Amino acid sequence: MSDHDTLEMECASDTDEPDVKLAIIDEEVVCPEEFLPTYQTIKEGTKLAKVHKVEFNGKQDSLFFNDGVRRIDFILVYEDEDKKEFEKRHTSQRRKTRREYFEASLMNMKLELEATPSVIDDKTIFVKVHMPWDVLCTYAEVLHIKLPIQPNDLSSHPSPWRFFSCITKHFYPDESLIRKEADFFTAPFEKNRLEHFYFKDKEIFFTPSMRSRMAYYILSRAPYEIRQNIKKFGITKLLDSGVYKAAYPLHDCRFNVKSSEEGCPNERYLLYNEWAHPKSFYKMQPLDLIRKYYGEKIGIYFAWLGFYTKMLALAAVVGLGCFVYGYKTQETSTWSKEVCDDDIGGRIVMCPQCDLCKFWMLNSTCDTSKELVLFDNFGTLVFAVFMSVWVTLFMEFWKRYQAELEYEWDTVEFLEQEEQPRPEYEAKCIYKRKNPITGVNENVPYTSCGRCVRLSIGMGTVIFWILLTVASIVAITVYRLVVFIIFSTNLRNSNLTNLETLREYVTPQMATSVTASLISFVVIMILNVLYERVAIWITNFELPRTKTEYENSLTLKMFLFQFVNYYSSCFYIAFAKGKAVGYPGKPVYLLEKYRNEECDPGGCLIELTTQLSIIMGGKAILNNIQEVLIPWLKNLIARCLNRATSEKVTPRWEQDYQLQPISQQGLFYEYLEMVIQFGFVTLFVASFPLAPALALVNNLFEIRVDAWKITTQFRRIMPEKAQDIGAWQPILQGIAILAVVTNAMIIAFTSDMIPRLVYYWSFSVYPYEDHKNHTMAGYINSSLSVFNTSDFQKESLIYITSEQLNLTTCRYRDFRFPPGHPRQYEYSIHYWHVMAAKMAFIIVVEHIVYFTKFVLSYVIPDVPYAVKEQMKREKYLTQVILHETNLKLVTRRLKPMEDIIPAEAEFTAEEMEDDL
């Protein structure tokens, strides 16, 4: 192992040498004294304290040391180097030395440790970490942990659903098992004001999640090696270098068996039965218990996912109604009937759609036109407008709900200054900078110029990968053009004797669309894996200060890439395909070789629907396999390997060690999966009204799958504090704004809605047609232009049969003047009517929807009035406590009154009171 490990976290001890010398040392420098109030340097030559080793006492569910008094706050796991057989002596000794110094440092900082060998593998040692009361008080103040000061005395507003409580109670967790948490006013903890906090028993004053959070704060900053003026520190590096195999907080019991320990809350058991178990799929989530057990960060994720799923129910109902309307009108649609009619569609000969293709009959796309009616109907227009309003309501009501959770979970005043720096950031603080807010000089890891360089390199790398994704989309587009020619020349002539019923469905357009969608999905998955590593490397290189900043930076990078990766093919089909194809005699070529794709006579909307369904469905299936099957199989294999020793009684910490470790990215991929889905549901919903219904079904499973996964298959997640969903919220707002534009443009340019409306109101009556009343009859004939076959280039008629050579004209989808007209093949007045209607539609719909969004966002306050009252009340009580504490402090320091006031002086009682 190299002495200069890349991720080493190190610290320079106090020195009088100039700062310049520190800057040129090729090490990472920081002083842990600044972050650990209980830190004391172990002097060189001092004998290191050893961890006391004990044997397992046989209590399977115990959460305490062997004495049954000291609670276990964290577990460290390592393999005894003296019992290893195949390892280099130098490496083994170095790991042992680092571990012993690290544990001695922890004990020097007043933490208490106890080691117990594994009952399954005697080489594995478990080190139990306990935080005494004084240490807990110290770090609760450092981390600004809020604790109760008195019960909430404000009356809660009655629920509007209280009259239906006899029915709704069946959809909530059993109140006899999961009791409602008492509501308290809280304040940041301070040791010298302990008497003002709602204090009953110091053993339960700090919850297990609080204790674990404070323990991890110390573990991530405790030193493990000193070399001259360099101090290396942090459990993260020790895990990376193999000194420890794992570090985690304990579950309080088994998920399917109650703990036999007296006083154990069995919260994991309750969460499994009332939340994660499949039988509880219809119940609301016990968010307070989730937050209490896993921390605010996990709680806010499941709160957001549950709220999103509830809102999807409304969108799914309206989307299903739109789909049913399309199904009912499928057989009565005039333009679909005309395509399928033997006297209309059966007599219309369509021009070849590629240079090597043949003429074809319009009624060959009869089934496609019927399928298109399901998604391209007047109900789609109403649904697109509804979804634009729905997404605004979703964001506004989520803000209100989030404000309630912020208050209930004590994260209202969770400021960036309260969040401690990441150890990786602290480890590189070698420069001084004056904080513009506090005016105090603080250590930073880079100069202003250095920060700009880091950000520039990061942005450049992100742009490069986005361009790489765009290049892959261009490659898939070329694939579409080449394969469409192959399918067009071979598919229609193939003898599908055994699959005759599929002949009418396996069209060149459909075959090209499905294969291109599958290839696009595979490319998306491969690029995801590659870019993930790049994004993490870039974010680590930028060195964000706090974990929140780190996650926000990584979130933005990953989403920008995923946005291009997942949506670019959909944007191509919706807004590029079939838009610049020319006309049969003068087609447009890509790279001067490949003729641009044309849409089916029914439009590109059905292909966009196919693309969305394949990507959404494939992504959901793949994610479920990754999230559920893989950890379950790993745990199953581990249990099979340990079957020989499974009859032994294993302690709580060893049972947790056999579970899967939590990914370093935590909830990042869970959020990313849902936000990408949110984009599909909102950005392209005009082409696929069933998207909200499919998302609703997926999310109902997603909630329980995620709950089952973290409760049964993974070690306990490290509790973390979070105020909101972070950078995902502005991303969702950006998607909501963009969705209005994309849906309006899909209806205008991808759907056939506007041309039909223009024909109905303008071109179906005199002077363009002979109909007396407005009608859709004759629309197909009106939407197809005429082309003279004599204007074809000879080389493009290679595969034309002798019968087809006798054709004088063919039809193509466009609004152009016929042959023989003075302006033949130029755009007709019909085309300009349609274009004007499309632009007018986009402008009107966007302005109406954006105005509605603005009104709704103004009318709906972000913070409910009741929550504002409670926040003001809590702030007032906190100020009263501070005032009383300061008053007592001043009173203790005041001298007797007769020592201050001269004997001859005379004051009235009012004057004395005013002076005091």
In angstroms, the Cα distances linking 475 to 466, 470, 566, 569, 589 are 14, 9, 15, 11, 15
What is residue 896's predicted lDDT score, i.e. its pLDDT? 54
Q: Which of 674, 662, 661 is nearest to 725 (CA)?
A: 674
In angstroms, the Cα distances linking 840 to 745, 748, 754 are 11, 10, 10
| Per-residue pLDDT tens digits for 233-288 | 888 888 888 899 999 999 999 998 888 888 788 999 999 999 998 888 888 899 99
Query: How many CB atoms lie under 10 A from the CB of residue 87?
Result: 13
Note the Cα 896 to chain centre separation in Å.
63
How confident is residue 611, by pLDDT bands cut at 50, 70 and 90? confident
Residues 6 or more apart in contact with residue 733 via CB below 8 angstroms: 395
What is residue 31's predicted lDDT score, i.e. its pLDDT? 47
Per residue, what are the HEC states of 20-80?
A: HHHHHCCCCCCCHHHCCCCCCCCCCCCCCCCCEECCCCCCCCCCECCCCCCECCEEEEEEC
Spell 583-598 as b/e; 16+ CB within 10 A means b: bbbebeeeeeebbbbb
Whole-model pTM: value is: 0.84
In angstroms, the Cα distances linking 494 to 488, 500, 668 are 10, 11, 49
Q: CA 534, CA 465: separation in Å to the nearest integer?
A: 9
| Per-residue pLDDT tens digits for 479-525 | 877 777 677 666 555 554 444 444 555 666 677 777 777 787 788 77
Please state the φ and ψ torsions of residue 349, each to the nearest 5 degrees.
Answer: -95, 125
Residues 6 or more apart in contact with residue 133 via CB below 8 angstroms: 202
Please state the φ and ψ torsions of residue 683, each to the nearest 5 degrees.
Answer: -70, -35
Task: Enumerate the domain spans of the chain.
Answer: 52-275
Exposed, middle or buried by CB within 10 Å (0-12, 13-18, 19+), for 123? middle
The answer to which of 311-315, 562-566, 835-839 has the lowest mean pLDDT is 562-566
| Stronger pLDDT, 367 or 73, i.e. the higher one | 73
What is residue 900's predicted lDDT score, i.e. its pLDDT? 44
The answer to which of 24-33, 100-109, 511-520, 648-657 has the lowest mean pLDDT is 24-33
The fraction of the chain above a pLDDT of 70, given in percent, is 81
| Per-residue pLDDT tens digits for 174-228 | 777 887 877 788 888 888 888 888 877 888 889 999 999 999 999 988 888 877 6
Query: Three-class SS of residue 363?
Result: helix
Give me the chain's average pLDDT, please. Answer: 80
How confident is residue 1, by pLDDT bands cut at 50, 70 and 90? very low
Question: Does the pLDDT at position 30 exceed 50?
Answer: no
Residue 189, amino acid: F
What is residue 836's predicted lDDT score, i.e. its pLDDT? 95
How confident is residue 656, by pLDDT bands cut at 50, 70 and 90? very high
DSSP for 731-748, please give it. Answer: HHHHHHHHHHHHHHHIII
In angstroms, the Cα distances linking 160 to 164, 165, 399, 810 are 9, 10, 20, 65
Do residues 364 and 507 touch, judged by C-beta distance below 8 A? yes
The answer to which of 75-79, 530-534, 778-782, 861-865 has the lowest mean pLDDT is 530-534
The stretch 453-461 carries a mean pLDDT of 80
Q: CA 648, CA 122: separation in Å to the nearest integer?
A: 13
What is residue 355's predicted lDDT score, i.e. its pLDDT? 73
Q: Is the peptide bond before 32 cis (omega within 30 degrees of 0)?
A: no
What is residue 17's predicted lDDT score, i.e. its pLDDT? 35
What is residue 566's predicted lDDT score, i.e. its pLDDT? 79
What's the number of CA atoms in the CB half-sphere (13 Å) around residue 610?
20
How confident is residue 831, by pLDDT bands cut at 50, 70 and 90? very high
How confident is residue 63, by pLDDT bands cut at 50, 70 and 90? very high
Q: How many helices (H) and strands (E) does the chain have?
A: 30, 20
| Per-residue pLDDT tens digits for 88-130 | 666 788 888 899 999 999 999 999 999 999 988 888 999 999 9
Q: CA 662, CA 701: separation in Å to the nearest integer?
A: 21
Q: What is the CA radius of gyration of the chain?
A: 35
The answer to which of 433-447, 466-480, 591-605, 791-805 has the lowest mean pLDDT is 791-805
Question: Does the pLDDT at position 669 exceed 50?
Answer: yes
Q: CA 735, CA 676: separation in Å to the nearest integer?
A: 10
Residues 6 or more apart in contact with residue 205 via CB below 8 angstroms: 147, 197, 199
Do residues 359 and 812 touch, judged by C-beta distance below 8 A? no
| Stronger pLDDT, 492 or 880, i.e. the higher one | 880
What is residue 380's predicted lDDT score, i.e. its pLDDT? 85
How confident is residue 619, by pLDDT bands cut at 50, 70 and 90? confident
In angstroms, the Cα distances linking 874 to 184, 403, 410, 870 are 9, 15, 11, 6
Residues 6 or more apart in contact with residue 641 via CB below 8 angstroms: none
